[in-house]
Structure 1
Amino acid sequence: MRAELVREWTGLRREVQRRIDGLVGAGREIGVQVAAYLDGRPIVSAVSGLADEATGAPVTPDTPFPSYSIGKGLTSTVVHVLAERGVLGYDLRIADVWPEYARHGKQDTTLRHVLTHAAGVPQMPPYATAADLLDWDEMCRAVAGSAPLWEPGTRHGLHEWTYGWLIGEVVRRTAHKPIAWVLAEEVARPLRADRELFFGVPPEQVNRVARLKDRNWSAMLHTLSEHLENFDTVAPPGVRPDATLANRRDVLRADIPAIATVSARAVARMYAALMGEVDGVRLISAERLKLITTTRTDGPDWAVGGDLPKTLGYVAQPGCDRIGWSGDGGGLSGCYPDVGLAVAVTKNYLSAGDGDPLEDIAATIHAAVAER
């Protein structure tokens, strides 16, 4: 069966490899990973270019890349694994396990509100710095002490940074373990991805991490700040998701579960295990998969202004059938439940505009599967 699978998708793998080699050869990318799983089995695993220009280290399938919002998909997956085991429920009131969170009328906020980015606390302290991101207790106090910007459940808006501490602290108080531990032991290790899925990267693994580089993403962040009324509220100047912040060793080593450090192979494997078995491992039931991939919000997102529809923990990507998370400035991840396909792309050039060839590659993979 595996040999037949290899033969069936040889043409697709060659096409993906040709395209990412072309992007690297043309200087549009430095290093790229692309991975896809169909019905729990790998059909694409392609890499090209360098993980680190300074050292000349090549990208390999297990190279972890700092990946910003792709990490939110890992955070959400931890919640669903714990829900599957009865450790917590989506209608859990946050204040019931985190009493300090009840301040300023937040006592009825539920985990469901958080998963759909409807909790009303997307704001960061305006003068937040990278050092603040490293202090778990400080950030949890800041989130708990925030007054909601809207009544929970009445609108939705990207909780760019606060999503991680909201979910992470609930996990810590219900599972009695840090969310990084739960990810490692309940998701990464069963999937044999414990060297490729991280919140805080262990010290002995940091030198394996790819280095990001700005192409024009910093300029885009500045443009977003100028034109989106609420952008600086969720991503103040001191903690904008850029290459400089992602490359900091102290940030890489910290548990900041709105972001993560991952390989494309491991993320695709995780999404595949949400939909079905991957080498005997299935993370959630078919019933829960349907529940968590149903779109729950509508209307414009408060933070980004445009459409960003949410399911329970993921984004229903506008313009395609993928459920998952894309990274700020590059990279994407998610699944197409109707066809059993999981796809992930990581890269180290952070960029915006000029088309999105990696999104096109994901669309090519999806089309090949849908048309077979």
Structure 2
Amino acid sequence: MSKPQKPKTVAIVQTQAENAGAQEIARQLALGFAKHGWRTRQIFFFRRTESFDGEENVVFCAKARPSTPFGLLKMLGALFEEFRAEKPDVVVTLQHYGNLIGAPVARLAGSPLVIANQLSPPETVPAVVGALDKAMGMVGFYDHIIVNSAQTETAYRDYPKPYSRRLKRIDHGFFDKSASISKTDARRHFGLPQDVELLGCAARLHPLKQVDLAIRILSENREQHLALAGQGAARGDLEALAHSLGVAERVHFLGELNTAQMGAFLAALDCFVFPSSTETFGLAPVEAAQAGAPVVANNIDVLREVLAVDGAPCALFVDAADTKAFARAVRRVLDEPELEATLTGRGKRLAERYPLDAMLDEYLRLMERPTP
């Protein structure tokens, strides 16, 4: 009688453990690969929040972001030892530092197949990091390089042929964040006011996300409140801005929310706003639209690409830097029931455009194909 075949192992590697877009993608991949019989390891260079504490098959190479050369070397050593001990058949790296650090350490430890993910537009990546990434892709540290939208693919197609020939476009699938909870109960759960128009934004509190532009809406639409889901270094600056504009009592910082909480958060809203200046996909507004929240988003090409079904937009787009125009767009969505119904009806079809199983199938084809 033959012994049962040992499951193959895939390691999913990225920078910090927190609840943000890249980390949500890691969760999706880990759960999906496990359902297809793969043994999964989620490896983070360091722990930023408690978001992954207690989850199975999660490894932190450092308890916090290294602040000294010795701390960095210790983190790299822990990553190397993890690869050597687990001997993953495939290593999937996420984010530019995940690629830049994870791929060479994986190769040094003998990993046979490395799949990198480009989750940052090239113009937002530090120049030195971008140059090293380009060189690593050209010489073969990455076997495949995943891009997640047509806009992102176009940006990386301009790279030299030894790099660009490794590109593979795989659009994000996503978890359906629809929740069977009333707006009243959802607001009560988070301690949010009941009888107000409530806007919401889910984003890392970082300058590139331009959450300050969402706060500025409140200086125009004085009857509205704003709930912010996310954490980050910019929180102090955002709180100071809210106070300076006289709207602090109408801005509600909820902090980091987990996957289960996000559904209730979206159910609490009258409108989801997303003023981010740069994205490779825009997972948060896609999830919001699918959950039934009307979305007003910054008018950038990638968001116009992904927030559409059969060529028709499922969000209202506006120059978020124009505070008056941004506020008017939100006001329009809330005051025109037919427009809101049109946008939310289309938004609920986004799962048809971005099925999670299709994303997993594309990854599995690469993972199970002989190494190039």
Q: Does the TM-score normalized on the shorter chain lie above 0.5? A: no
The higher relative CO (CA closer than 8 Å, separation ≥ 6) is in 1
Q: TM-score, normalised by structure 2?
A: 0.29
Q: TM-score, normalised by structure 1?
A: 0.29
Which structure carries more strand by proportion?
Answer: 2
The structure that has the greater radius of gyration is 2
